[in-house]
Chain A
Amino acid sequence: MADKIDPDIALMLRVKEGDLSAYEALVEKFKQPVMNLVYRLIHDLDEAEDIAQNTFVQVWKTRERYEPNSKFTTWLFTIARNLGLNEIRRRTRHPADSLDETHPDNDLQPRHVVEDFTSPIPAEAALNDELHARVEEAIRDLPEKQRTALLLCREGGVSYEEIAEVLGGISLTAVKSIIFRGRAVLKARLKPYLKSGDWQKK
C-alpha cells in the first residue's frame, strides 16, 4: 500500500517548484497559528505581524532548500520561533524599545485578540476578558521554552516530537518536563480563578 503524503508537505513540494497558489494556500492555512505563537512570544501586535509575514517570506525564499524530512509545521514554527527570538534579543539589547510600553501591567483588556461575541451577559464578558488577560499575563511571564512549548501544544496537531525539534532538537523527556513545569506554574498563577470555577463559565 502506498504511503499517503502529508497534504502540507505536498503543498510545500509544489511551492518548491515555484507554485504561488500552493504558497498562498499554506499562508492561508497557517497564518493564524503563526500569529498566535509569535504574538504571545513577543507581545507586540505590530512586530508580531511583521515577524509572521517574514516567517512566510522566509519559507518562500528558502523553498528550494526544503526537504520533506519532517512535518511542514515543524519547519514553519522553527522559523517563526527563531525570528521571534531574534526580536526578543534585539529588544534586550535596546531596552528603549521595551514591549511594556505597549502592554502596561495594569491593562487587563486583551486588546489584541478576537473578542468573544458569544457571551450574552456583559458581566460575564467582563469576567472573561479579565480571565483572558490573566492567562495572557501568566503565559507572558513564563520562560521562553515553556511558553513556546505550551503554545505549540495549544495548536492542535503539534506533537511532542515536533515541539522537541522546534525547541532545537531537545529530548522528548525534556519536552514533557518543560510542558509539565509550564502547566504547574500556570496552575499556581491562576489558582484563584481555577478554584472559583470561573474558567468553567467560558
Chain B
Amino acid sequence: MNQPGNNEQIDQQYSQLMQAAMERELTAEELARIDDLLAQNKAELADFEAVDHLLAKLPDVIVPSNFTARVLDEAQRQDQPAQALDQAWWQGLFSPQYRSIQLASAAAVALLIGVFGYQNHLDQDRAEMAESLQAVATIAEMAPGLLTDFDAIDAIDQSDPIDEELWAALK
C-alpha cells in the first residue's frame, strides 16, 4: 500500500512530467515513467481514457454522395489533356490564343534572316577586296616597271583646267 508521503512524491513527479510535456518533447524514459505514474493514478487515467473515447466517437464528416464519381471524372479528365498533347502538341502553337507569341517569333525569325544576310554580304565584299589586292600585288611583283609612271598618270587626273589648256596649246 502507498504511503501518503509516497503519493505526494508520485503526484509531484507526475506534475513535473506533465509540465515538461507541455514545454518540450519527452524522452522515451519520461514517456515510460508517465505510463507508470498514470497506472497508479486512476482518476487521471480515467480522464485520458475519456478523451480517447470522445475522439473516437467524433461524428464522421459528411462526404457528398457523388464524391467518388467526381473523383473518377476528374482523374479521367486529367488523363485526356496529356493524350491530346501527345497527338498534336505542335498544332496548339498555331491557335489564336498564342497570336502575340506567333508575331514575336515571326519578327525574331525575320530579324535573324536580315542579320545573317547582311553579315553574308559583308563577308562577300571583304573576300572580293582581298582578291583584288592580291591580284594587284601579284602584278607589281611580276613587273615593277608597270607602276613606274603611275604617279604621273595619276597626276593627270588631279590636274586643274589651266593645265588642260596648256596641254591643248602644246598639242
B147 in the interface (beta carbon within 8 A) = no
Q: Chain A, 140-154, contact with B by CB distance < 8 Å: what is the 0/1 string?
A: 000000000010011
B51 to chain A, nearest CB (A): 5
- Tell me, yes or no, whether A131 is within 8 Å of chain B by CB: yes
B interface residues, how many (CB within 8 angstroms): 35
In the bound complex, CA of A184 to CA of B48 (Å): 7
State which of B70-78, B95-103, B106-114, B156-164 sits at the interface with chain A.
B70-78
B55 contacts A150, CB within 8 Å?
yes
| Complex-state Cα separation, A177 to B54, whole angstroms | 20
The answer on a CB contact under 8 Å between B61 and A184 is: no
Contact B58 A136 (CB under 8 A): yes
Instruction: With both chains docked as a complex, state the minimum distance between the C-beta of A189 and any C-beta of chain B, in angstroms.
Output: 9
User: How extensive is the interface on chain A, given as a class?
Assistant: 35 or more
Stretch at the interface among A6-14, A25-33, A71-79, A94-102: A25-33
CB atoms of A49 and B59 under 8 A apart: no
Kindly list chain A residues whose C-beta atoms are within 8 Å of the C-beta of B25: 173-174, 177-178
Q: In the complex the two chains form, what is the Cα distance from A35 to B67 in whole Å?
A: 10
Interface residues of B (CB under 8 A from A): 18, 21-22, 25-28, 31, 34, 47-48, 50-64, 67-68, 70-72, 74-76, 78
- Which A positions have Cβ atoms within 8 angstroms of B? 20, 23-24, 27-28, 31-32, 35-36, 39-40, 45, 48-49, 52-53, 56-57, 60-61, 110, 112-116, 131-132, 135-136, 139, 150, 153-154, 173-174, 176-178, 180-181, 183-187, 190-191, 193-194, 199-200, 202
Q: 28 A-B residue contacts at CB 8 Å?
A: A20-B72, A20-B75, A27-B68, A32-B60, A35-B62, A36-B58, A36-B61, A40-B61, A48-B61, A53-B71, A56-B71, A61-B78, A113-B58, A114-B60, A153-B55, A173-B27, A173-B28, A177-B25, A177-B26, A180-B34, A183-B51, A184-B18, A186-B55, A187-B48, A187-B51, A194-B50, A194-B51, A202-B57
